[in-house]
């Protein structure tokens, strides 16, 4: 059972168990009061400016009953708080699942039948798998052009870029990107030169009759975790060196800098960037540069290794949706003389999948 007391600084100390306690400032609690007078019950937004609450507010009294905390503040306001909600916020615990790193050892791939996605439970499972693994495959969609955008809009708005609302991955002359040739393309993240990078990519197969043209996915998170443990020096240089990524065509020049593996301020994995066709390594002292090149080479070989790279084939009517800042994708070369290959792709933001998953989980 949770217990609490007021400390010498007039903060409420909540003891979750013998190891965890939190010293909560009265103002921090006061601005979380959820009564309808203070919070709009439709949109959960505050109806007042919290910066204007008196800063020397204190707790006059409190009680805990059935895991509900009741507080009377010195400005006369009374509030009730669900302790589990409060503690989840203190722990920054998200309702949606954490990422699960994966290698090329799936017993069952996360393949969903498009015809079942109108069942709420199946849609929720797809979003949960996507959150954990960073990708899902969907079969039995239509083979019609434009399917990719319709599918994307089940989650949220499509991000239009200079390639348009969607792009056609088909071999064409004088292509402004190697994706639009029949060449094999090793595992990469799309568009690391954009600010911000496209969050999620969906690639829908209209036709894949050519010899070759198989797809691959690699979990950048799993590879980053592997390097962190097995090659700490390489991990260090890859997570601290800013690389320039650049796209050039006759209309536009796009540039952005970023690390090949980026961590957050707590040292936790945030994202991957990798595109050997587009990267410009910065000026570094030669000895540092040698270290960086060794680390990049190692990273490249891990991405193409049997241990990490998942290979499969997208047939007509199938699509894959993957987290473009985590899961790298690639394809094998194909022979345009053996059949037609046409994929359509588009981008959406993480807001769409994460936001929908949080909503659905909160409804449970
Ligand atoms: Fe790509």
Please give the distance, rounded to the nearest whole angstrom, from the Cα atom of residue 226 to the centre of ligand 1.
24
pLDDT of residue 181: 85
State in Å: Cα 118 to ligand 1 middle: 29
Task: Quote the ligand 1 centre to 350 CA distance (angstroms).
Answer: 18
What contacts 128, CB < 8 A, 6 or more positions away? 96, 97, 357
HSE (side-chain half, CA atoms, 13 Å) at 44: 1
Q: How far is the CA of 240 from the centre of ligand 1 (A)?
A: 25
Cα 328 to ligand 1 centre (Å): 8
pLDDT at residue number 184: 92
Considering the four listed CATH numbers 3.30.360.10, 3.30.2020.30, 3.10.180.10, 1.20.1260.10, the one that applies to the domain covering 3-90 is 3.30.2020.30
CA of 208 to the centre of ligand 1 (A): 16
Question: Rounded distance, CA 285 to CA 63, Å?
Answer: 62
Q: What distance in Å separates the CA atoms of residue 2 and residue 90, rounded to the nearest whole number?
A: 14
pTM above 0.85, yes or no: yes
C-alpha of residue 310 to centroid of ligand 1, in Å: 16
Indicate the domain borders of the chain: 3-90, 111-363
- Cα of 332 from ligand 1 centre, angstroms: 12
Bridge partners of residue 39, in order along the sequence: 46
- Tell me, in angstroms, the distance from the centre of ligand 1 to residue 44's CA: 39
Ligand 1 mean position, distance from CA 218 (Å): 13
CA of 177 to the centre of ligand 1 (A): 9
111-363: CATH number: 3.60.130.10
How far is residue 190 from each of residues 12, 95, 128, 238, 278, measured CA to CA in Å?
48, 29, 23, 18, 10
pLDDT along the chain (364 residues), means of 10: 91 89 96 93 94 96 96 97 92 93 98 97 98 98 98 98 94 78 93 98 96 96 98 98 97 97 97 95 97 98 98 97 98 90 97 97 89
What's the 266 CA to ligand 1 centre distance in angstroms? 30
Å from CA of 190 to ligand 1 middle: 5
């Amino acid at each position: 059972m949770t217990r609490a007391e007021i400390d010498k600084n007039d903060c409420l100390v909540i003891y979750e168990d013998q190891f965890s306690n939190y010293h909560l400032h009265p103002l921090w609690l006061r601005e979380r009061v959820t009564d309808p007078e203070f919070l709009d019950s439709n949109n959960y937004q505050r109806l007042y400016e919290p910066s204007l609450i008196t800063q020397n507010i204190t707790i006059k009294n409190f009680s805990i009953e059935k895991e509900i905390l009741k507080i009377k503040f010195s400005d006369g306001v009374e509030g009730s708080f669900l302790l589990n909600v409060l503690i989840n916020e203190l722990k920054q615990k998200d309702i949606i699942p954490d990422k699960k790193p994966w290698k090329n050892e799936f017993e069952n791939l996360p393949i969903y039948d498009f015809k079942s996605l109108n069942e709420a439970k199946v849609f929720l499972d797809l979003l949960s798998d996507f959150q954990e693994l960073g990708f899902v495959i969907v079969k039995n969609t239509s083979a019609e052009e434009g399917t990719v955008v319709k599918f994307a809009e089940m989650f949220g708005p499509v991000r239009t870029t200079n390639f348009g609302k969607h792009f056609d991955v088909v071999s064409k002359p004088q292509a402004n990107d190697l994706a639009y040739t029949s060449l094999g393309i090793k595992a990469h993240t799309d568009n690391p030169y954009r600010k911000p990078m496209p969050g999620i990519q969906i690639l829908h197969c209209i036709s894949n009759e050519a010899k070759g043209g198989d797809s691959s996915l690699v979990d950048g998170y799993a590879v980053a975790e592997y390097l962190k443990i097995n090659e700490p020096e390489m991990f260090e240089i890859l997570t601290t060196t800013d690389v320039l990524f650049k796209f050039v065509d006759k209309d536009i020049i796009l540039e952005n800098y970023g690390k090949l593996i980026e961590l957050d301020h707590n040292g936790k994995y945030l994202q991957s960037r990798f595109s050997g066709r587009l990267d410009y390594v910065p000026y570094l002292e030669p000895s540092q540069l040698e270290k960086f090149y060794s680390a990049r080479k190692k990273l490249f070989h891990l991405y193409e290794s049997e241990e990490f790279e998942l290979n499969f084939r997208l047939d007509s009517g199938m699509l894959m949706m993957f987290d473009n800042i985590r899961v790298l994708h690639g394809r094998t070369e194909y022979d345009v003389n053996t059949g037609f290959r046409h994929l359509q792709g588009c981008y959406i933001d993480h807001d769409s999948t994460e936001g929908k998953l949080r909503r659905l989980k909160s409804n449970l």
